[in-house]
Structure 1
Amino acid sequence: MDAHAATLPPPVMPATGLGRLADRLDRAVGTVVELVAAVLVLAEIVILGAGVTARYAFHAPLVWSDELASILFLWLSMLGAVVALRRGEHMRMTGLVTRVGPQARLLLEALAITAAIAFLVMILPDALDYAEDERLIVTPALEIANSWRAAALPIGIVLMLFAAFCRLLRFGSWKTVALALGITVALIGLFYLAGPVLKPLGKLNLVIFFVGVVAANVFAGVPIAFSFALATFGYLALTTSTPMVVMVGRLDEGMSHLILLAVPLFIFLGALIEMTGMARAMIQFLASLLGHVRGGLSYVLVGAMYLVSGISGSKIADMAAIAPVLFPEMQKRGAKPGDLVALLSATGAQTETIPPSIVLITIGSVTGVSIAALFTGGMLPAVVLGIALCFVVWWRNRGEDLSQVTKYSKREIGRLCLIAAPAIALPFVIRAAVVEGVATATEVSTIGIAYAVLAGILIYRQFDWRRLKRMLVDTASLTGAIIFIIGCATAMAWGLTQSGFSQDLAKVMAAVPGGTWGFLAISIVAFVILGSVLEGIPAIVLFGPLLFPIAKQIGVHDVHYSMVVIFAMGIGLFAPPFGVGYYGACAISKINPDEGLKYIWAYVAALLVGLVIVAAVPWFSIGFL
């Protein structure tokens, strides 16, 4: 979920006067939105940091801090979604889009924008009604109308509409834009006219909307969040009597879990770790330890991803911190570029359960599983999959020539260990603070940020203040893309539940031959497929609430099932040809995706073997709970 290789491309430079005007307006409004979003990220860090300090240092909790943080978080999520739409950073699948001719690709890119516009136009009146209704509710601590928080939804929708229309106006071909608008309007009109026919079809509508409409949109390159939203809106509007303001409520509910506040803070923490040189220090120490053995730097890559992973909230950020440090030296030693990118992609899947992973936080928020238990349970299963990858590394590098490799002295290793110690300690400080109950998963991120800032300024003497604004804006954009997906997927999951689908699914899954083992096996297959098509967070938000009660009912421990599901999803996300994580690894490495194809399958097989071991031996997941 974390891969952002598949995004909308930047618009063509406008050639017309209208296009240039749209470009200037978009830049002006976009600059303001980015500035406000960056300030909101900073405000969240300060508010939560002040709350932790007041509670633990002065034993005088700020009763209003969580409430204010929650209000600002919805604004941050919506404005972040606006920034992501402007920059083309909403998650999408481009497997089909990149394989068609230039004209067809341009049309699909235009359709991706017009489809988003269609949903935003249709939901805007209901978002306004929802914000107006929330005026009657008063917040308990600050005692202000809840409409101050809910207004983020219609205002964010209006700003997204503005950004989307500006993108259309800057398109190179008016004919393409007109055709895309025509197709979008025609399809909506056809569904509207088909309403009386669809309503009597009952549960067949679930297939039409949640399989057909979602698949058509996803494969056409429409951002995943909008694909979910269009299918849910169509299903509820045309086949049920549910007021659409209810969908806005579910969207709000999905985006407002306080635990999700950890998302922007950990994303920002990951950027800090890279900027302050902490990631580089960790990798250099690991390289001094293992660089002189056959395949040593490949083992370092596996170990470095284990240490760094999960802190940033983005696998792309993890990879970007590691690949530039290790790959040049690995290529000097004769490593094939394809093998490097294949292993990098595989480690992305292997480290999905390393806390404080955003995927772990998300699964805890939507299923009610203890975050502390997930953080404890995620460490050992990742080691199992790491060992499986290391076996492939050993096999492939057993004949490596080490005659030109320098072996570090114990003194040099000790020096690098001393330099890396503060950086290596950070992940363990964060995990220990949550597991021991010192701070919540949300609060602990502020401790990590303070630690990274102090380490960067005082220890590593590497802190570029000029990069802070860009880091804050990037954090807001990625947060908006992630949280908007969670909101849309929550609304979709609610629609599926109301239809009775969850009960039907429970019956089918419970009837799978083999009991617990059959259920785990079918879950692995399902989440590998879902991970490759939908990415991790959407797949978990959509199906987690439906499948976890079934797992519990047949005796599978929540934490054990979480590990199985997350690894299966990760393998799908990072395996070609559909997994966008693989293409993200290629983009970071600047290596052609075709070069990695012949190398990656051995790593995927190793990951699957490791996953089967984790699924078959629950102790790896729950032995330390």
Structure 2
Amino acid sequence: MEHTADPLEISPSSTRWFDRLLGWVTEVPAAAIVVAEIFILGGGAFARYALHAPLTWTDELASILFLWLAMLGSCIALRRAAHMHLTTFVRDLAPNTRAWVDALGMSLVVAFLVMLCVPAWEHWHEEIEVTTPVLGISEGWRAGAVFAGAVLMLVTAVTRWVENARWKQVALTGGAVALGGAALWLLTPVLSGLGNINLVIFFLVMLVSCIVMGVPIAFAFGLATMSYLAFSTTNPMSIMPNRMQEGMSHLILLAVPLFVFLGALIEMTGLARAMINFLVGLIGHVRGGLQYVLLGAMYIVSGISGAKAADMAAVAPALFPEMKKRGSKDGDLIGLLSASGAMSETIPPSIVLITVGSVTGVSITALFIGGLMPAVVGLLLMAIVVWWQTRREDMSGVKRASGKEIGKLLLVSLPALLLPVIIRTAVVEGVATATEVSTIGVFYTVLAGIFIYRQFDWRRIYPMLLDTASLSGAILLIVGCATAMAWALTQSGFAQDLVKIMTAVPGGKLGFLLVSALAFVVLGSLLEGIPAIVLFGPLLFPIAKLVGVNEVHYAMVVIFAMGLGLFAPPFGVGFYAACAIGRVSPDVAMPRVWPHMAALFVALLLLVFVPWFSIGFL
């Protein structure tokens, strides 16, 4: 039957021009800020180390621009539907039911942003009279980013809402959310007297319900926290934008967009391909050789890009076709790709490592040194699985590369192989901070791409800058909202209760580590890595220190556990990303992923029981 347009239904074409205008308003400044940050931080590092004339204003200016990048990037991610969200429970719904659930989810996003706008305005006005210590300009330039971002995201959310839903869905879901808000407001006197029962209402029932229906995780965190503050406490609402700003303002987090951009650059300039070609020439002729190449490539590339999706996208398409020709099963390939993504979460400069250092205060240099060996443990155990699965692989048609060919491939790949060494050496030797070192990597990659590999497509730079802003905004909004949520949990007394529970776990240090590992496997599966780390890191790391666990050892255990959960089916988002990149159905991959996950689980137990793997080189 032909569909007849409803006269009250909003036509997508009627909002298309406005959507393009909104894109231009957010995308051009965001791309410009990414470029500006590269030159500001790179120039600061060069002036300090090479000229011995440090520029005192670079960090302050970079941090102000960074907050604008986070908020503009969040708008771009919302416009692209690129915010992290859980689709496990909604992806198989009937199309009509899914449309209603999506409309309800977007109405909740709109509700959070409506609640945020007024406190963000108040916070901006409070900060206007305060001046920055170095530049001497108004702090309003920083706080204004949260208000401007909230307004732009609200406009974006409403535009997406009316574009993707019928008028009836918009009216009914919007009305339902408004009635729910009114009911909570009327129940405020009752809720105020319930004490910590409100934690169950807002941070369990409301939060989990939002995540299950596919509301982006950042907005689910934000809505639960804003509702808790508004309807069950007497705290001023301006605390929310204040804490969001504080969470997103850590200068170390500026490494996130810069390493994301660096990851895109190494793929575009051919550095990733050069590394892979060398590894294929070196060991591609042995049984399981290409699987070993994938493991090695993920280890090396993870040390450059820091973003798992970028790592997998750079490695898998180059290897999977030939691996399939040699008889590898699709499910085994996805299992290996997923497990290698989980394994490489601890490899510097992983975004998760940077986030841990930001929210817990653990030394970034120590985390970078400590993260290398845990990944080696995972790699070796997965190599055993590969050996078992490929022990009968037919290699009769595979030609072994000659020594001359390997030498030529090594010469070509040398500039690419030097990049992770340069990055890690610069941080460990104190040449640059973990934030600044990403700019060194960017400049090095650009020069290598132009002058050595002669592969540099200028037309791809702008889309890459937008992708960087979008992914960074999605990550950083989670950091901001999770920081506010962690503050609310701490103020409620939950942190003290958690200390009592975790310190009472049988088995002392070992029991605490095992419980933490299990908890982060579950949290990594349900919340993804960064939300889990930002939310629970500030609460659990002090407890780890209290029971005598080294902070770097604890960081490696929880990051590895979180990675295992993130890439383990049926809930792990990373598993589905690997399926999408490898173009394999999750139904085909799921039954065959478990040997690789079992290897990672054994590796996790080794990390728990043998601290040396994490702290032996500190």
Match of 2:279 among 256, 274, 286: 286
The counterpart of 2:491, out of the listed 498, 502, 526, is 498
**Mapped pair 1:108 → 2:115:** no
> Once structures 1 and 2 are overlaid, which stretch shifts more, 598-607 or 366-375?
598-607
Match of 1:256 in 2: 249
Which of 72, 77, 84 lines up with 1:79 in the alignment? Answer: 72
The AA in structure 1 aligned to 2:15 is A
Give TM-score scaled by structure 1 length.
0.97
Once residues 599 and 355 of structure 2 are traced to their aligned partners in structure 1, the CA distance between those partners, rounded to angstroms, is: 26
Aligned to 1:356, the other structure's residue is in SS state coil
Task: Give, in whole Å, the separation in 2 of the partners of 1:562 and 1:107.
Answer: 41
Tell me, in whole angstroms, the C-alpha distance in 1 between the residues paired with 2:105 and 2:445: 39
SS of 1:99's equivalent in the other structure is: coil
Shift in Å at residue 176 of structure 1? Answer: 2.0
- The equivalent position to 2:373 in structure 1, one of 380, 389, 400, is 380
* 1:267 aligned partner: 260
> Alignment RMSD, CA only?
1.3
Match of 2:449 among 449, 452, 456: 456
Between 592-601 and 364-373, report the one with greater CA deviation: 592-601
Moved over 4 A (4+): 14-18
Counterpart position of 1:488: 481
Give the match for residue 549 of structure 2: 556
Query: Could you say what secondary structure the match of 2:345 adopts?
Result: coil
Partner of 1:6: none
One-letter code aligned to 2:508:
G
Q: Do the aligned residues in 1 keep the contact of 2:9 with 2:166 (CA within 8 Å)? A: no
Tell me which amino acid in the other structure corresponds to 1:331.
Answer: K
Corresponding residue for residue 7 of structure 1: none
1:348 correspondence with 2:323: no
Give the AA of the match of 1:253. Answer: E
Q: Determine the structure 2 residue equivalent to 1:215.
A: 208
Shift of 1:459: 0.6
| Structure 1 residues 102 and 17: CA distance shift in structure 2, 3 A | closer
Matched with 1:412 is 405
The partner residue of 2:604 within 579, 602, 611 is 611
CA contact (8 A) 1:15 1:172 kept: no
**Structure 1 residue 147 corresponds to structure 2 residue 117:** no
Distance in 1 (CA, whole Å) between partners of 2:487 and 2:495 is 10
String of CA shifts for 1:94-145, please: whole Å, max 9, x gaps.
Answer: 1111021111111111122111110110110110010010012101111111
CA contact (8 A) 1:310 1:352 kept: no
Q: CA deviation at 1:311?
A: 2.7
1:310–1:358: 8 Å Cα contact kept in structure 2? Answer: no
Alpha-carbon contact 1:532-1:575 (below 8 Å) kept? yes
SS in 1 for 2:84: coil
CA distance in 2, matches of 1:183, 1:329: 53
Unaligned runs of 5+ in 2: none
CA deviation map 1:378-436 (0-9, x unaligned): 00010001111111111111111111111111110111011111101101110111111
Task: From 526, 530, 534, give the equivalent of 1:533.
Answer: 526
Q: TM-score with structure 2 length normalisation?
A: 0.98
Q: Count residues in correspondence.
A: 613
**What do residues 213-235 of structure 1 show as CA deviations (whole Å, max 9, x unaligned)?**
11000001000001001111111
Residue range with higher mean Cα deviation, 183-192 or 225-234: 183-192
Letter in 1 for 2:173: A
Structure 1 position 193, deviation (Å):
2.2
SS in 2 for 1:555: coil
User: Hey, what does 1:444 align to over in structure 2?
Assistant: 437
User: Structure 1 residue 512 and structure 2 residue 505: aligned?
Assistant: yes
Can you give the 5+ residue segments of structure 1 that lack an aligned partner in the other structure?
Answer: 1-11
**One of 298, 301, 305 as aligned partner of 2:294:** 301
SS of residue in 2 equivalent to 1:201:
coil
Q: What residue identity is the alignment partner of 1:307?
A: I
Measured after TM superposition, the shift of residue 172 of structure 1 is 4.8
Paired amino acid for 2:147: P
The letter of the residue matching 1:95 is T
Instruction: Tell me the alpha carbon deviations over residues 57-78 of structure 1, each in whole angstroms, 9 at most, x when there is no partner.
Output: 1111111111111110011100
Q: Is the 8 A contact 2:8 2:167 kept in 1?
A: no
Q: Hey, what's the Cα distance between the residues in 2 that align with 1:59 and 1:15?
A: 67
1:476-512 CA deviation, whole Å, 9 max, x = no partner?
Answer: 0011000000000000000000111111101100001
1:34 maps to amino acid: E
For 1:602, the aligned partner's letter is P
The CA distance in 2 between the partners of 1:172 and 1:567, in whole Å, is 40
Does 2:300 correspond to 1:312?
no
Task: Quote how far apart the aligned CAs of 1:182 are.
Answer: 2.1
What is the alpha-carbon distance in structure 2 between the residues aligned to residue 306 and residue 192 of structure 1? 52
Contact persistence 1:349–1:571 (CA under 8 A)? yes
Name the CA distance, whole Å, in 1 between partners of 2:299 and 2:177. 45
State how far apart, in whole Å, the 2-side matches of 1:191 and 1:574 are.
37
With 369-378 and 598-607 compared, the bigger mean Cα shift is at 598-607
Distance 1:342 1:498 in 2: 42
